[in-house]
Every structure is written in C-alpha cells, then in structure tokens.
C-alpha cells in the first residue's frame, strides 16, 4: 500500500497542478444574448485574466464591444479588464498549481494540507467575487440611462429571458479543469491524512 501510494500521490498531485495551470489559459464562463436586432447573437467569454470575445464570435453579430454598447444604453458599467479579480486570480492559480507539483515530490503532509487549504480559500474567493461582480453589474445601473430596466441578476447558467433578450450562460472548460484539479488535490490530501493516521495507529499498536 505504501509503495502504491508513493506513486499514486505523485501522479494525483502532478495532475492536479497541471489541470490548475491549464485552466488559466482556458475560458471560464460565457454569456450569449439574442433578440430581433441580433438574430445571430452577441456575447462574451470570461477568462481568469480578462473578459473577451467568445471563440465563435465570427459566426455571431458581435462580441464584447457590441455587448458594451448595449450595456451603455441600459446604464451598466463598461466591462473592464482592470477588475482586481483579473489581477489576483491567474497569479494565484498558477502559484497553487506550482505548489501542488512541489507537494507531489516534497513529501511533507503539512505542506500538502496547507496548499490544499490555500486552494480552497482561492476557490471561495473566485466564486464569491464572480457572483458579486455579476450581481453588481446588473444592479448598479445609471438612473439617467437611455433605456430604463429594472435591476436584474444575469443568469449564471442556462437559458433566461431578460427584457426582449433571450440569454444563455454556461461554464466553460477552464472551470471544469479548475474543479477537477481541486478535487484531485483534495482527494490526495484526504488519502494522505488517512494513510498517515493508519500508520500512527499501527505504530502505537506495536508499542
């Protein structure tokens, strides 16, 4: 069991670190909107480090620039790449990914637990910040805007109706990679704790 876990530990933690690193360059979330004026839709994709046009923007009526124009008419703030989350998140994810790979070869349980705990805090920060920004963009509207709409919460996932627009939101590959990498790291830490505890019990039973 011990020999297997030595190899399994390395594989799981290296895979977890690689998945986290890969998530940074992959899209995390997308939103699309359709109406009579935009029959092919407009939309944007969010990465850990910036908002951008969707990958399929060439087949649509527009991307983030057109969405920003529409947002201006209803009083929403411009979609800014300068939000603090776009500065913190990619650097933090890369750091945790590298630390997980280090933890794979530096066999110190306390180090692994610390990295996994840091990853959990990072996930909590990313999720709450994302929901906060989405909520704020839909509620902090300019009352002097050309078109008045009631404050709203853009949907995080699935189809919704927003005024005359049909919207579709979805989490993308980057989010999946981040979740899989975090799950692998958590499972590895749990197994490390279980094996360490089992070894301690065996040692005490001998003595």
What pLDDT shows up at residue 153? Answer: 82
Can you tell me the mean pLDDT for 72-96? 91
Q: Which residue has the higher pLDDT, 80 or 199?
A: 80
Q: In angstroms, how far is CA 50 from the centroid of its own chain?
A: 12
Q: Is 179 exposed, middle or buried (0-12, 13-18, 19+ CB in 10 A)?
A: middle
What pLDDT shows up at residue 142? Answer: 78
Can you tell me the mean pLDDT for 137-153? 80
What pLDDT shows up at residue 1? Answer: 45
What is the distance between the alpha carbons of residues 167 and 182, in angstroms, rounded to a whole number? 30
User: Where are the alpha helices (H) located in the chain, listed in sequence order?
Assistant: 2-24, 64-73, 84-105, 109-139, 173-206
For the chain, give every domain's residue range: 2-206
Radius of gyration of the chain (CA): 22
What is the distance between the alpha carbons of residues 99 and 137, in angstroms, rounded to a whole number? 34
What is the distance between the alpha carbons of residues 138 and 133, in angstroms, rounded to a whole number? 9
Residue range 14-65, pLDDT digits in tens: 999 999 999 999 999 999 999 898 999 999 999 999 999 998 999 999 999 9
pTM of the model as a whole: 0.88
What is the distance between the alpha carbons of residues 98 and 91, in angstroms, rounded to a whole number? 11
| DSSP-assigned beta bridge partners for residue 166 | 34, 161
Residue range 98-138, pLDDT digits in tens: 999 999 999 899 999 999 999 999 999 999 999 999 898 88
Look-up of token digits 């627009």 = 165
């Amino acid at each position: 069991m011990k020999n297997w876990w030595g190899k399994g530990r390395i594989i799981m933690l290296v895979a977890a670190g690689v998945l986290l690193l890969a998530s940074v360059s992959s899209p995390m979330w997308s939103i699309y909107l359709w109406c009579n004026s935009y029959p092919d839709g407009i939309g944007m994709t969010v990465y850990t480090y910036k908002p951008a046009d969707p990958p399929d923007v060439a087949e649509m009526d527009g991307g983030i620039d057109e969405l920003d124009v529409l947002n201006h008419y209803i009083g929403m703030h411009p979609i800014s790449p300068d939000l603090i989350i776009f500065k913190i998140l990619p650097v933090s994810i890369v750091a945790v990914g590298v630390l997980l790979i280090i933890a794979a070869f530096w066999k110190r349980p306390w180090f692994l637990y610390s990295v996994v705990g840091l990853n959990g805090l990072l996930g909590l920060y990313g999720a709450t910040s994302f929901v906060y920004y989405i909520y704020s963009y839909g509620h902090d509207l300019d009352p002097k805007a050309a078109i008045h709409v009631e404050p709203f919460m853009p949907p995080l996932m699935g189809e919704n109706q927003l005024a005359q627009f049909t919207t579709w939101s979805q989490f993308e590959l980057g989010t999946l990679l981040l979740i899989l990498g975090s799950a692998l790291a958590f499972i590895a830490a749990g197994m490390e704790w279980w094996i360490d505890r089992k070894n301690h019990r065996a040692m005490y039973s001998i003595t």
